[in-house]
Amino acid sequence: MGDFFTLGTVGIGLILAVLADRVKYEKFSKTVIFMPMAISFVGAGVIWKFVYDYKPLGVNQIGLLNQIVVLFGGEPKAWLIQGPWLNNFALIFVGIWIWTGFCMVILSAAYKGIPEELLDAGRVDGANEWQVFIYIILPYMKSTIAVVATTMIVNVLKIFDIVYVMTNGNYGTEVIANRMYKEMFQYRNYGRASAIAVVLFLLILPVIIINLRRMKGEKS
């Protein structure tokens, strides 16, 4: 599921960075998209827990998502206890909602650094917008994309707040950091909690090393 989070945040952030540069209300649109980053992850978890809230059919829905489903004639669903796939996608969507703005801002700065003459030269040579994006924009921004993707991978490996607030790891949504917290503070298994912390560190370490080597290779 971490792959979906990373692809979602970086992919959508990149698309929004390119599109926002072409509208007149660029600053306003970026502010709105970045705004979820101003909310604490615990606060975001509480907000989305209410959005996903479920009441049986025939009872007034207080969850926005189920209210929309009922409005269009569907049956309300318990989004957070349906099963591991739907549960995890619901949580991943919250993470994407929070972090996409961050990715967009970083990638937008890199996009604005592309020389306009380079883009115009590609268009003059007959490249359409998709070809310009694939063969000019992406290669020029690959180092920034790699850094942002690395940051998102680290974030998803150590994610805790959203899972703890919304499901506490139940219904097939357990993550490493939440399990470490449970072992440490609920079950008092200090040795196991320490072992999980070491595993988490070892999972993150290769990603950091690869990124550092890539950055050294670019400088040399």
Kindly tell me if the per-residue pLDDT of 172 is higher than 90: no
Q: Which residue has the higher pLDDT, 1 or 73?
A: 73
d(Cα 49, Cα 34) in Å, to the nearest integer? 21
Mean pLDDT across 24-32: 91
Q: Which of 163, 176, 138 shows the shortest CA–CA distance to 42?
A: 163
Mean pLDDT across 2-20: 91
Query: Which pLDDT score is estimated for 2?
Result: 64
Q: DSSP secondary-structure letter at 36?
A: G
Q: Read off the pLDDT of residues 103-138 as tens digits, 9 standing for 90 and up.
A: 999 999 999 999 999 999 998 988 898 999 999 999
Question: How far from 165 is each of 44, 90, 117, 162, 207, CA to CA, in Å?
Answer: 9, 13, 49, 5, 27
Q: Which of 78, 105, 102 shows the shortest CA–CA distance to 90?
A: 78
- As a whole-number percent, the residues of the chain with pLDDT over 90 amount to 66
Mean pLDDT across 134-155: 91
State the Cα angle at 129 between 121 and 102, rounded to 5°.
Answer: 105
Of the ranges 18-27, 55-64, 190-199, the best mean pLDDT one: 190-199
The residue written with tokens 């690869």 in the block is 210
Query: Which pLDDT score is estimated for 1?
Result: 60
Could you tell me the domains of the chain?
2-140 (1.10.3720.10)
Q: Read off the pLDDT of residues 36-52 as tens digits, 9 standing for 90 and up.
A: 999 999 999 999 999 99
| 211 half-sphere exposure, CB direction, 13 A CA radius | 18
